[in-house]
């Protein structure tokens, strides 16, 4: 029996407008006996070339509204041959040119190495001097064609190292075993179990 019963710990609010992200994170939190609450707030995302800065600042803005333990997550796809682009601007680039546009940018480029990076920022009344950050990274490459129907964002073109399928071709369970987001969220959950006062 898991000695960390769900009712022994408070609910942590996950501030995101992306329900697919929430579903992935919820499955991971459940492994640790933690419960998440979906919170979609209309926040102005800070402009920065650092996902750590964006996550940290957004968490502080969200806490001013919710005033309860919460975390936010910011992620980016960093492509070597494009000097790290789209990086922190991944969400905007996806909404403006999408997967086809990214593949067009990569047309004729042989070096297709890339990295997905996630930053989770935990904020509570105990962390107002500075949200606690958790980083998750996974290396891989950009495929030449979009493949798969699952996931979201640039998942159809990102192939993690060691396998031949894109993130979009994996089940949530498979993706959660190796994705950047799962690594960051797992680090968060481990920290919360060891530091319960942070979220109480």
Average pLDDT (57-74) is 95
- Per the residue annotation, which of 42, 74, 80, 155 is the catalytic one? 74
Is the pTM for the entire model greater than 0.75?
A: yes
4 pLDDT exceeds 50? Answer: no
Average pLDDT (109-118) is 97
Instruction: Say which DSSP state 153 is in.
Output: T
Alpha carbon distance 83, 62 (integer Å) = 31
Mean pLDDT estimate for the chain: 92
Q: How confident is the model at residue 166 (pLDDT cuts 50, 70, 90)?
A: very high
Active site residue 111: no
Instruction: Say which DSSP state 142 is in.
Output: E
Please state which CATH class domain 6-199 belongs to. alpha beta
* Helix pair 180-194, 19-31: axis angle to 10 deg: 50
For residue 106, give the nearest of 160, 77, 149, 143 by alpha carbon: 143
Please tell me the predicted confidence (pLDDT) of residue 82: 96
């Amino acid at each position: 029996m898991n000695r960390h019963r769900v009712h022994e710990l408070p609910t942590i609010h996950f501030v995101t407008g992306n329900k697919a992200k929430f579903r992935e994170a919820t499955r991971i939190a459940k492994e640790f006996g933690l419960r998440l609450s979906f919170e979609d707030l209309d926040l102005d995302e800070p402009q920065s070339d650092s996902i750590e800065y964006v996550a940290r600042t957004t968490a502080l803005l969200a806490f001013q509204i919710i005033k309860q333990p919460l975390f936010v997550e910011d992620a980016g796809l960093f492509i070597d041959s494009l000097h790290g682009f789209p990086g922190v601007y991944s969400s905007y680039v996806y909404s403006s040119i999408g997967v086809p546009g990214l593949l067009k940018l990569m047309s004729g480029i042989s070096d297709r190495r890339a990295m997905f990076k996630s930053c989770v920022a935990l904020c509570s009344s105990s962390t107002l001097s500075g949200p606690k950050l958790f980083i998750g990274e996974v290396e891989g490459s950009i495929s030449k064609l979009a493949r798969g129907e699952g996931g979201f964002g640039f998942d159809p073109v990102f192939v993690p190292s060691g396998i031949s399928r894109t993130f979009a071709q994996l089940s949530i369970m498979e993706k959660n075993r190796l994705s950047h987001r799962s690594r960051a969220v797992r680090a968060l959950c481990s920290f919360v179990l060891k530091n319960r006062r942070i979220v109480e």
